[in-house]
Chain A
Amino acid sequence: MKLSFSAEDEQFRAEVAGWLQDNLKGEFARLRYRGGPGDEHTYPEERKVWEQKLAEGGWTCVGWPKEYGGKGCSIEQQVIFFEEYARAGAPGRVGHIGEGLAGPTIIAFGTEAQKQKYLPGIVAGTELWCQGYSEPGAGSDLANVKTKARFDEVRGKWVLNGQKVWTSLAHESDYCFVIARTDPESVAHRGLGFFLVKMDQPGIEIRPIEQITGTSEFNEVFFDDAECDAGDIVGAPGDGWKVAMGLLGFERGVSTLGQQMQFQNELDDIVALARENGAADISDIRQRIARAHAELKIMRYNAMRMLSGHSVSDGSLQKEALIYKLFWASWHRSLGELAMDVMGPECEILEGAPYELSRLQAMYLFVRSDTIYGGTNQIQRNIIAERGLGMPKEPRPALK
């Protein structure tokens, strides 16, 4: 076991930190610590400009292979990049769905033409993506999607009809990757397709949904004869589920080290507040702060274990990776509660009307979604028990 980084990597760290110091200022200074989860409605235009600034510096898609415009960074360097990015308080990335999900999927499963068409815009930070999976009838049971895709032989285009819901940042996005049923007779995960769809077209309507925070980051998206080209399906019709699941495997936790740095910033705020307002003298609060601190440390060690794992080559997650989402989501949710309890009765008082939340108030509300999106805590436990421990699957009624 070796915990230290090589001299070369430390040099890289200095380079990242230096670039951020030189660039995260002037017009961008007010973006510091903004736009993260729960705050994504803040400064969207400015953050798009920042995304392009990053691209100019060569700091988008650092983990992608060089041949696709990435930086080809090693795991260690990616860790360093995300850590330094968060340490500097650099803003939430508007391009993260393209860089982290859409791009890697296209690289892994896409055609040469799809790579040419879509990857450069992600690397340049000019084209933003959203994820069109969930539907009113397909949440945890994602395979139950009803949105249909029909190939129109005459026009040579795929035509989509149906509805997506909870689509984060759809209103800011240029493209959406959508799973839809290519075989209208099919059920469950058979007969699905994975589509790359342009958002700005007559067949798509986006309606924002107001969230628990009073702001809107996610939307309903309606497809009414929406179109994409014949070449915009990733994999064959019927392969959609395989492609969508392959995508989940790309989240190996590299970027989570940056997320942890953001968690650390939040915990630091809570500690500072507790020292100031006397909550630090209450034994229950002391225990909870110490627990949050200890578990955040361990979260980092756990991520380091995930990244160092030697046995990931078969694509299956190791045990420490399987538990990771459940661990961080539950941890973060308790941090929100801790923040309120450290504030005491002051936690009720808003920054302003009608519903202007402080950073900690927004965090407290937003973390409730961490245990819901990306597989709820219950679904995570099902996966851990079935894949991690080999326990029998829930008996299901036979498919009709």
Chain B
Amino acid sequence: MDFAFTEEQEMIRDTAAAFLAEVSSSEAVRRAMATESGYDSALWRRICDEMYWQAIHIPEAYGGLGLGYVELVAMMEQMGRYLLCSPYFSTVCLATNALLVAGNEDQKTRWLGELGAGQVTATLAFNGGSRSWAADSITASFRREGDEFVLNGDYRYVIDGHTAGLLVVAAREEGSSGEQGISLFLVPAQTAGVRRRWLPTLDQARKQAAVTLDNVRLDGTSLMGACGQAWPALGKVLDLAAIALAAEQVGGCQQLLDMTVEYTTERVQFNRPIASFQAVKHKAADMMLKTEVARSAVYYAACVADEALRGGELGAELPEAASVAKSYCSDAYFAVAGEALQLFGGVGFTWEYDVHLYFKRAKSSEHLLGDGSSHRERLAVTLLDQGRSS
């Protein structure tokens, strides 16, 4: 047992931190978030062409770097810390994971190749506008017509849905419900009948879209896995994505803590730095506790995710590890952000200071892919309901 980053993993993290400190400054974030696309395409090109981050956990056989989920999580933590505006989460943590988990050989060869080369960005659309984020949130439907599939329906909360070149969409067989009848399809954004609309959001640093499929016709090569049986794969993808998102939340916690300690140490009131007041110190101590506990949850979940993708034994813990991490980190991030805002006083309430960017991100990431209480309810079902007659 050695539950610490290897030297190589530390190097990846430090390289990411150094690069992001340079390219994802407060000014850069504010410039990017003011645009509809939400990112600077020149910077995204640099990330793809110089850093190869988009290819991090794509196996070498498909042209990727072949690294693991721990490395991906180390990267996400830094992106959360620097609030990087990019299609990274949607492309790598949603769509690439979907291809890795559910794609057939031809699909992987083609699309992982393009994604890994940075030629296309992608995302995952499944939720029709429900707070549940589970199978019942999928309302779009498909039917077969000869060799073709015809898809209809609406999606909300699609991360980068208005800019992605490739959409991985979930739809259910007409008349099905729950976890039954769900299929995943690969839909290039330009396909006839695909309509996409940017949704302005409270957290401007992560863009969301509504997607409508209006009689979209696909041939059989677009179908991922066996028809109507995609829920287990999709569930796995969502767990993997939740772990990556939780890592981003840990990075946000750390940045807020660092900013708060720095600010309260400089700010003087009553002839003392306010950091010397115990009421301030105790809040900061609680912020550090939450940050470290969140980090422990995420690193463990990263190891589980890694094995889940490589077929290791620990992979069986994926749903639990994802819910443990996402529930704790979601609540921790929002609590830490709230305390930070308080400890900055009036300036924390301004547009000029960065605290509000993190405060807003904390809420948006809390609700993305299920908030703390929904993940706890998922744990409760396993703990309390299985094998009990009520």
Query: What is the interface of chain A, defined by CB distance below 8 A to chain B?
Result: 1-5, 9, 76, 79, 271, 274-275, 280-281, 286-287, 289-291, 293-295, 297-298, 301-302, 304-305, 307-310, 319-320, 322-323, 326-327, 378, 380-382, 384-386, 388-395
Contacts and interface: CB of A to CB of B under 8 A. Distances in A.
A35 to B, nearest CB: 28
B149 interface: no
B379 A290 contact: yes
A308 B2 contact: yes
A140 B28 CA distance: 48
B314 interface: yes
Contact of A76 (B1, B4, B5): B1
A326 B285 contact: yes
**4 shortest A-B CB distances, which residue pairs?**
A385-B281, A290-B376, A381-B285, A384-B285
B261 A389 contact: yes
A287 B376 CA distance: 6
A29 to B, nearest CB: 29
Contacts of A309: 4
Q: Give chain B's interface secondary structure class.
A: helix
> What class of interface size applies to chain B in its complex with A?
35 or more
B252 to A, nearest CB: 17
Contacts of A378: 282
Contacts, number: 163
A323 B292 contact: yes
Given A76-B1, A390-B265, 8 more contacts: A1-B70, A280-B388, A287-B376, A290-B383, A298-B300, A302-B293, A381-B282, A384-B289
Given A286-B384, A394-B276, A298 B324 contact: yes
B46 interface: no
25 contacts: A1-B3, A1-B4, A1-B70, A2-B1, A280-B384, A290-B376, A290-B379, A293-B379, A298-B300, A298-B328, A301-B296, A302-B296, A304-B300, A308-B4, A320-B292, A326-B289, A378-B282, A382-B285, A389-B288, A391-B265, A391-B280, A391-B284, A392-B275, A392-B276, A395-B276
A385 B299 contact: no
B295 interface: yes
B278 A394 contact: yes
A384 B390 CA distance: 46
B388 A304 contact: no
B297 interface: yes
Contacts of A295: 293, 328
B269 interface: no
Nearest to B376: A290
B14 interface: no
B327 interface: yes
B360 to A, nearest CB: 25
A305 B3 contact: yes
B190 interface: no
B303 to A, nearest CB: 5
Contacts of B297: 294, 297-298, 301
Contacts of A297: 297, 300, 320, 324
A289 B327 CA distance: 13
Contact of A287 (B9, B280, B295, B377): B377
A297 B327 CA distance: 12
